[in-house]
Chains A and B, each alone.
Chain A
């Protein structure tokens, strides 16, 4: 019955869908926010190969970080009495010409190869972002000069230049990273420049300029975030290529020299016919390791490309 008291009661939410809506509003603090990053991560997780690749890469990274704890021996311990031994109980993957344990060298090699890939790519992506941003945003003379430099560097034959650099600087891990970075920055810088050229025409950039924002702020705060997606995908594939390049260089004897273990220089031994024919344990494990690492990185890169750019609008075909 309608009494005076009913007017002062709280309005009861109606039954049905409206009830749920209001109930959610009441708990707004704990509701999950669906942001583009979350959606991208969910798209990545749906890509089965990429998840597989990510898991394997994490295992490899753990093996690299905890190498001293996992590896049965150090990578330089020599047991000359048992040199060139086939896999046995004491040495699970056998020993090399100098009696060093192959398994331990493989595990420590993970450190070298992965870090060369990551560092070289970080260096050259940074260079590419800076030069590409200057070239794309300011245009004009700076653009012309930078693009001509890119053309010159792209025309240089990589083997000759890398060998010269190694002979000037000396063969070492750091110099290999520098050599790979010095020749690799051209591709992404073109990519960044293209992206910035298309983003520069966007309305929000024009609005920022009209308000009087400094060019640096516009570049860093408004334009570069749009470049991140294709750059991340490109960088991932770049790490895979860097690992392959470092392996090839070390295989030819121009990259990382022994006793530092790198998957590439472990395979250098196979250039001798005797080792190739009769001691597969020396060159097959590093080769499989390179293959696995590069394959997983490529899977992850493909997953990232699907996650960040499902329509393929931003990333190029390469």
Chain B
């Protein structure tokens, strides 16, 4: 078991370096002088050539790409991600500021999705082929098909603009003191969109998992033993069906930081997603590399945790 974990860890490390190297290579291939992004187009056009050259030297743009990458990597491993092109806070401070709101949003939507989706899936599995199952399948499909930005715009239109019940954007009312109710009011729409509309996915997973368990031998034995249907369902079916769900939760964690980009943009929720879009529009490469670092670590860590959980749950794959 430990050997499995160590092997997965060892594979993750070169993948991590390769990922950062690939993105850094892509960024260096982007056309245009990066100095333009730093000082602005007007200043760039008006500056004499040696001043531009001095700025380039100061930021290290005149060195070859691999040297720049190694320098960035060295600093990053020591925790220094540098400064973004715009703004005065370091990249690390920006990240620290933006990660909690995104976690709040995604965490709430994940909980919502599971609260709605898992019971939905259980109902669909237990009453398979009934009218309820059929209707819920259609509902799950519709949820899969909604473009999230369309629903976001529609909800803003209905609830914020026409009915004036919920705020249009942001995380809290400007200037007002912090209050839980205020935060909840701002959270409802984005969390609902992300959560309710991914409930369908959880419902399908739960339904498939429960159906698989329901057909297995030990459930038949439990029924043959004479256990009441309720005991069979709770003690045998639920418990065994939930195990793969737990591993899916683990594998879903990277979405916690990266999945809400468009919703954050529409609702102007000050989190990682909005920062990504702003950094991309401004071609703010140090910021983008910082975001990439965080997201790559999250993905690799959650894949590792998910794989370990799979191995814990299903001993057969430990000896793979």
The interface of chain A, by Cβ under 8 A from chain B, is 49, 148, 151-152, 154-157, 159-161, 163-165, 167-168, 240, 244, 247-248, 251-252, 254, 267, 270-271, 273, 276-277, 280, 283-284, 287, 290-291, 294-295, 298-299, 302, 312, 317
Contacts and interface: CB of A to CB of B under 8 A. Distances in A.
B19 interface: yes
Contacts of B161: 276-277
Interface SS of chain A = helix
A190 B300 CA distance: 18
Given A160-B292, A161-B26, A240 B157 contact: no
Nearest to A237: B144
Query: Residue among A165, A167, A247 with the most chain B CB within 10 A?
Result: A167
Contacts of B1: none
Contacts of A294: 144-145, 147
B276 A290 contact: no
26 contacts: A49-B138, A148-B18, A151-B11, A152-B18, A155-B19, A156-B22, A157-B296, A159-B277, A160-B291, A167-B283, A168-B26, A168-B29, A240-B144, A248-B147, A251-B262, A252-B265, A254-B280, A267-B150, A270-B153, A273-B168, A283-B150, A284-B154, A290-B150, A294-B144, A295-B142, A298-B141
Contact of A168 (B15, B31, B142): B31
Contact of B291 (A157, A164, A165, A299): A157
Contacts of A295: 141-142, 145
A152 B262 contact: no
Interface string B152-168: 01101100010000001
A227 B142 CA distance: 28
A213 to B, nearest CB: 30
B23 A290 contact: no
Contact of B19 (A49, A152, A252, A298): A152
A156 B205 contact: no
Given A244-B147, A267-B149, A163 B280 contact: yes
Nearest to A152: B18
A19 to B, nearest CB: 41
B5 interface: no
Contact of B153 (A157, A240, A287): A287
Contacts of B154: 284, 287
Interface string B260-298: 011001100000000011001001000010011001100
A294 B149 CA distance: 14
Q: Which of B19, B27, B208 has the most CB of A within 10 A?
A: B19
Contacts of A152: 15, 18-19, 22
Contacts of A280: 157
Question: Which one of A49, A155, A161, A248 has the highest number of Cβ atoms from chain B below 10 Å of its Cβ?
Answer: A155
B2 interface: no
B254 to A, nearest CB: 9
B242 interface: no
A280 B154 CA distance: 9
A251 to B, nearest CB: 5
Contacts of A248: 147, 149, 262
Contacts of A312: 208
A160 B141 contact: no
B258 interface: yes
B147 A164 contact: no
Contacts of B258: 157, 159
Contacts of A251: 149, 262
B55 interface: no
B213 interface: no
A159 B276 contact: yes
Contact of A247 (B22, B147, B277): B147
Given A251-B149, A280-B157, A287-B154, A317 B15 contact: no
Contacts of B19: 152, 155-156
A155 B296 contact: yes
B30 interface: yes
A287 B146 CA distance: 9
A252 B288 contact: no
Given A152-B22, A165-B26, A168-B31, A159 B153 contact: no
A123 to B, nearest CB: 19
B299 interface: yes
Contacts of A161: 23, 26
B186 interface: no
B100 to A, nearest CB: 19
Contacts of B150: 267, 283, 287, 290-291
A168 B295 contact: no
B191 to A, nearest CB: 19
Contacts of A156: 19, 22-23, 296
A294 to B, nearest CB: 4
Interface string B291-312: 1100110011000000000000
Contacts of A244: 147
B147 to A, nearest CB: 5
Give the top 7 A-B pairs by smallest Cβ distance, nearest first: A287-B150, A295-B145, A294-B145, A164-B26, A163-B280, A157-B295, A152-B18
